[in-house]
Structure 1
Amino acid sequence: MLEAQTITRRGLLHGAAAVGALAGTGALTGCAMGGDSDKEGAKGEANAANPLGVKQDAPLEVVIFNGGLGEEYAKAHEAMYKERFPQASVKHSATQQIAETLQPRFVAGDPPDVVNNSGGSQIDFNALVSQGALADLGEVLAAPSLDDPKVPVKDTLRPGTIEAGSYDGKFLSLNYAYSAYGIWYSEKLFTERGWQYPKTWDEMIALCRRIKAAGISPWTYQGKHSRYMSWPILSAAAKLGGVDVLKAIDNLEPGAWRHEAVRAAADAYYQLAVDGFLQPGASGMDHIQSQTEWSRGKAAFISCGSWLENEQKAVTPPGFRIAVAPTPSLTAGDKLPFEAFRGSGSEAFVVPAKAGNLRGGLEYLRVMLSRQGASDFTRKTSSLPCVAGSTAGLDLSPGLASVTKLIDAAGPNTFTWLYNSYYRKLERTLVDAACADLFSKRINSAQWVDRCQQAADGIAKDASIKKYKRT
């Protein structure tokens, strides 16, 4: 187990036992989590200064996932909450073991007021949602923003934030960090070598040949978490075939993974393994090891989200100039332009339905979504929050500046998928294993597509798993 300073946002704890117990045995069933109004906990008088009716002296407990983003940003938010409610005590704790630590408290009906349900050991959202364990955050969306009472909170959020956190029409999870997913490289290395980031797949393969000839591995990847390589595959498929390709996957439609766009994308990225463009030994590396190899210039490209800069800041050499770009276009006829990329919320924050200070939990999220809260997050993590315009006036790090350029260039052409939130096991276990076999050349791209489809079909047929519909 890695120490807190090296554990990532996703974490290394798989928490299979805890998650399995929750999702498979109905560990929360006895909690009667669904929404009796008299179980809401502490209440205060609602007014213009306190629109959510927080009880002034009610204690607030916040539990943070101690991953790649750390916990300092949360301490800043807690200090803001304390300024608003000076009579309230605020208890802060951080852990990498969210499920192991908090599942018993959900079962006992005594959860914290705010939970950052993230990391490899997060509590399965499907189980939390299906058993009514989460409070509806719709009141936060409708509440006036902290900065301008004429503007509701929902109008301050980046596109896709509400969709990503909604289940059956209820907004239950605030994915606070806005992650841009793409292919990362060093601008310093590329400038020194005279390389240009490729905009087409043919250009990518041609550049990989040049990089390999220069004695550098063209690509590395997080072999022990090989699902990271499913991200460029699905991104390329969405750009080739359109966003409906992703919606079909999210909705567990028969044959969705066998769509010709997914096949073409899988075949393209499989070529990296076949042509020897992957760093030797990467299949046995975890995310920290492979990303460190990349930071040290041993490989040119790596697939990741925009938490990468903060996660690697301790080992990234000065002048590296970390940068991100979209996945290359597969064909000249792609339905989405080269600039299109996957942008999605991450770092899920929830308020348990049985929180002792539910009103305070909702208010804490409103504080997080203020301009000051968003700016504090960016300064302390080099990451974007889901609050639009939150980087105004800030001196941005190279990676974050690159992310903002990516967002600006894409305009409306951003997309994401939700199957990983709806059905955690499908991505974290089944697709992950298929990717490990694909990039180790134990299976080919056609077999990978079949494996993923069979896994999705298994989820679809499992009556114990609640299903969601993306429109």
Structure 2
Amino acid sequence: MPNTPQITRRELLRSAALIPVAGALAACATPAGQTPASSAPAAVATSAANPFGVGDKPLEVWIFDGGFGQEYATTIHQPLFKSKYPKVEIKHNATKEITKVLQPRFAGGNPPDVIDNSGANAMDFGALAQDGQLQDLTPLLDAESWDQPGVKVRDTLDPAVIDFGTYDGKFSVVGYANYIFGIWYSKKVFTENGWQPPKTWDEFLKLCEAIKKSGKMAPFTYAGKFPQYLYEPLLTMAAKIGGTEVLVNIDNLEDGAWKAEPLKQAATAWAEIGAKYLLEGTAGLDHVQTQTAQNKYKVAMLPSGSWLENEQKSTTPEGFDYAMFPIPDFGSSDKLPYGTLHTQPGENFIVPSKSANPQGGMEYLRAMLSKKAAGDFSELVRTVSVVKGAGDGRPLSSGAKSATEALAAAGTNTVYYRWQSWYAQLKDEAIAATGQLMTGGVTPDQYLERLQKKADDIKSDSSIKKFKR
């Protein structure tokens, strides 16, 4: 592999927007003791127990310090890895600013060995794949499970992990948690006030009106500084109205995909929520502030994923009892039934192809994907793992139980989209435009026209690699 990676215009623009060019690489010099990526790894014999030939080289791990925190890495995954490789020094790091901190490391040719590339500031997977920066993890899938002898890793995983982690025919991203999205609320609050989770959009509007008139709290909020929290229920509603092809067409950059009637109906519906029922000041609040407002009983409902309960564990009052409900039916002609959920693998781990120790990085992921490690993770951070059966027999918190039951009820009626991880420019545009939609800065038609234009620009830009589902 070349010592000087070829960074595309796309990736340079992304990093330049976030980091001053001068001194960027100097600020992220190789940590003391880290072997340069160009050094040839020492040859170590491979076996079923050590399928990648891991030796004694140090292993540098970076964790996104978000909804799941970083404790799971230091108390579950790393001790498990060290139990088999005690001589390997693990250099643990955590940050909320993945792109800002690690993008220069890729540009400098010395990325770390394992990265939890997650959160609002995750690096652009599409650009990393296009530039050959991601290790091919197919050998990981074909390796024997860490703690299930005779079983391949691929056979222990939810099949969606492989679908979502494949870029241009190469499996290179491991989603570790099963993200389950919905509208979250307190069972205590709903029970005390006689409020019922709505099953139709009319019921949802009536509930919002009743909460507003009660004067006890605002009906609804979302992370105003991170409007992707709101475009998630908007897109899920559009898929319910028009079927999964609505989201497939967006992913595939089909002509006019963003102007489809189901998207207009969904955008119009959520714009009404923005105009009438938001917590005051929502546009200026981040996800933690809005979630904390809910914990303080200042707002009744908000959209989020199944990491929410763990993210708020330090501020959630006793007896709050998190629960979630799916996006309500918009009308009787919806193509998808009540209970349809947006769910997909998340908390995405990668092994950079130009790291100093990709062998150790893949083995670290193999340890993570053991049934015990995944089960311990699920129990610690109150969520659902992608490893089959990892949560069996383990106690579930209120929110995790609610999300698990919703997923079971949904059955095969689940939806997802890929464009936000494939095309960072489109994600940036959607974030900005959704914020304006919810504050009345653009009409639903203007909102969709803006997103269609950005999608068309990407489609016609030959420098951007295209993906298809």
Question: Is TM (by shorter chain) over 0.5?
Answer: yes
**How large is the Cα RMSD of the aligned pairs?**
2.3
What is the deviation of 1:150? Answer: 2.5
Cα 1:40–1:464, aligned 2, differ >3 Å: closer, same or farther? farther
Q: 1:18 pairs with 15, 18, 22, which one?
A: 15
Match of residue 334 from structure 1: 334
What is the deviation of 1:77? Answer: 0.4
CA contact (8 A) 1:40 1:357 kept: no
Deviating more after overlay: 113-122 vs 416-425? 113-122
| Alpha-carbon distance in structure 1 between the residues aligned to 2:125 and 2:407 | 28
Match of residue 375 from structure 2: 375
Q: Percent identity?
A: 46
| Alpha-carbon distance in structure 2 between the residues aligned to 1:256 and 1:66 | 35
Q: Helix, strand or coil: the match of 2:92?
A: strand
| Alpha-carbon distance in structure 1 between the residues aligned to 2:51 and 2:97 | 34
| Alpha-carbon distance in structure 2 between the residues aligned to 1:124 and 1:197 | 36
| Alpha-carbon distance in structure 2 between the residues aligned to 1:120 and 1:339 | 27
| Alpha-carbon distance in structure 2 between the residues aligned to 1:364 and 1:400 | 26
Deviating more after overlay: 212-221 vs 414-423? 212-221
Match of residue 239 from structure 2: 238
| Alpha-carbon distance in structure 2 between the residues aligned to 1:341 and 1:453 | 25
Deviations 1:192-230 (A, max 9, x none): 111111111111112112111111221111111122111
| Alpha-carbon distance in structure 2 between the residues aligned to 1:222 and 1:101 | 23
| Alpha-carbon distance in structure 1 between the residues aligned to 2:368 and 2:81 | 9
Is 2:241 aligned against 1:261?
no
* TM-score, normalised by the number of residues in structure 2: 0.89
CA contact (8 A) 2:120 2:226 kept: no
Letter aligned with residue 466 of structure 1: K
Letter aligned with residue 391 of structure 1: G
Unaligned residue ranges in structure 2 (runs of 5+): 1-11, 26-37
Match of residue 292 from structure 2: 292
What is the deviation of 1:257? Answer: 0.8
CA contact (8 A) 2:236 2:327 kept: yes
Match of residue 356 from structure 2: 356
Deviating more after overlay: 361-370 vs 383-392? 383-392
| Alpha-carbon distance in structure 2 between the residues aligned to 1:105 and 1:449 | 36
What is the deviation of 1:40? Answer: 6.9
What is the deviation of 1:64? Answer: 1.4
Matches within 5 A, 1:60-99: 60-75=59-74, 76-99=76-99
Q: Helix, strand or coil: the match of 2:225?
A: helix
CA contact (8 A) 2:211 2:219 kept: yes
| Number of residue pairs matched by the alignment | 442
| Alpha-carbon distance in structure 2 between the residues aligned to 1:81 and 1:179 | 25
Letter aligned with residue 51 of structure 2: P
Cα 1:95–1:227, aligned 2, differ >3 Å: closer, same or farther? closer
Unaligned residue ranges in structure 1 (runs of 5+): 1-14, 29-37
Cα 1:127–1:50, aligned 2, differ >3 Å: closer, same or farther? same
Match of residue 204 from structure 2: 204
Letter aligned with residue 458 of structure 1: D
What is the deviation of 1:39? Answer: 7.5
| Alpha-carbon distance in structure 2 between the residues aligned to 1:90 and 1:73 | 14
Match of residue 32 from structure 1: none
Cα 1:342–1:290, aligned 2, differ >3 Å: closer, same or farther? same
Match of residue 130 from structure 1: 130
Cα 1:67–1:426, aligned 2, differ >3 Å: closer, same or farther? same
| Alpha-carbon distance in structure 2 between the residues aligned to 1:71 and 1:273 | 34
Match of residue 307 from structure 2: 307
Match of residue 105 from structure 1: 105
Letter aligned with residue 304 of structure 1: S
Cα 1:102–1:437, aligned 2, differ >3 Å: closer, same or farther? closer
Cα 1:185–1:21, aligned 2, differ >3 Å: closer, same or farther? closer
Q: Helix, strand or coil: the match of 1:223?
A: coil
Matches within 5 A, 1:392-403: 392-403=392-403
Cα 1:404–1:43, aligned 2, differ >3 Å: closer, same or farther? farther
